[in-house]
Amino acid sequence: MAEKTITKHVKIAGRAFVLRTSDVVRTLRRIDPEPIASHFVVVGQRRFPPKQVISAVTGLDRADFTTHQARRTLMRLGFPAGRRGIGIWASAPHAAVEPADTTPVPAHDRLADRLRPLAGRWVAIKDDDLLHAADTPQALVTWLAQHGQRADSMFRVPEDELAATGLAPL
């Protein structure tokens, strides 16, 4: 089912932009999320820092706008947003995600549900938070080193339920 595209006319850093949800999703498909320091927005089941998203979509320098402006703009486009606590999620054990409108946030914010689309990929986890996913363990370690991140665990997400349970095929 195709999602509804929302279009908003916004002014960021004194410049006018027309932003569409479809443009945001398309732009972020080819970009890896950076580490989440505090605030995040959810785009296509991946969590991004709001300033990374607005910078990627508009081409603006991140110093030209605040995290609050970026977060508010993305929420108006319908993307859920949340805030990460220090070391642990703000509302243990998972982050509180504020809906962009009055519709309830889906209950699929559990880590296991967030890992499902990453079947077969290597992931780094810290404090029940998905830091990054990559195709090889080397690429994952490289990303962690480049971003000064440390993971509590790294593993390859099983490809199916059989692999996840460790059962041999019949």
Burial tier of 169 (Cβ tally within 10 Å: 0-12, 13-18, 19+)? exposed
Collapse the DSSP code of 166 into the 3-class scheme (helix H, G, I; strand E, B; otherwise coil) and give the result: coil
Collapse the DSSP code of 132 into the 3-class scheme (helix H, G, I; strand E, B; otherwise coil) and give the result: strand
Same structural domain for residues 54 and 82? yes
What pLDDT shows up at residue 148? 86
Collapse the DSSP code of 46 into the 3-class scheme (helix H, G, I; strand E, B; otherwise coil) and give the result: strand
CA of 63: how far to CAs of 26, 67, 108, in Å? 24, 10, 33
Same structural domain for residues 122 and 145? yes
CB neighbours (10 Å) of residue 37? 11
* DSSP H stretches of helix in the chain: 21-28, 50-58, 67-76, 111-115, 137-146, 161-165
Domain count along the chain: 2
Same structural domain for residues 63 and 13? yes
Q: Which domain holds residue 125?
A: 110-170
List the chain residues with pLDDT less than 70: 1-3, 85-109, 161-170
Same structural domain for residues 24 and 73? yes
Tokens of 28: 């972020």
Same structural domain for residues 87 and 30? yes
Separation between Cα atoms, residue 74 and residue 93, nearest integer Å: 25
Residue ending a domain, among 65, 90, 108, is 108
Same structural domain for residues 95 and 11? yes
43: left (phi over 0), alpha (psi -120 to 50) or beta: beta
- The structure's pTM equals 0.63
The answer to whether 151 touches 126, Cβ cutoff 8 Å, is yes
What pLDDT shows up at residue 5? 83
Residue ending a domain, among 108, 130, 157, is 108
Tokens of 38: 């505090």
The answer to whether 83 touches 39, Cβ cutoff 8 Å, is yes
Separation between Cα atoms, residue 72 and residue 144, nearest integer Å: 28
What pLDDT shows up at residue 24? 94
CB neighbours (10 Å) of residue 56? 15
What pLDDT shows up at residue 94? 38
Same structural domain for residues 96 and 114? no
Same structural domain for residues 118 and 61? no
Same structural domain for residues 139 and 84? no
Residue ending a domain, among 92, 108, 124, is 108
Same structural domain for residues 52 and 97? yes
* Phi, psi angles (nearest 5°) of residue 59: 85, 5
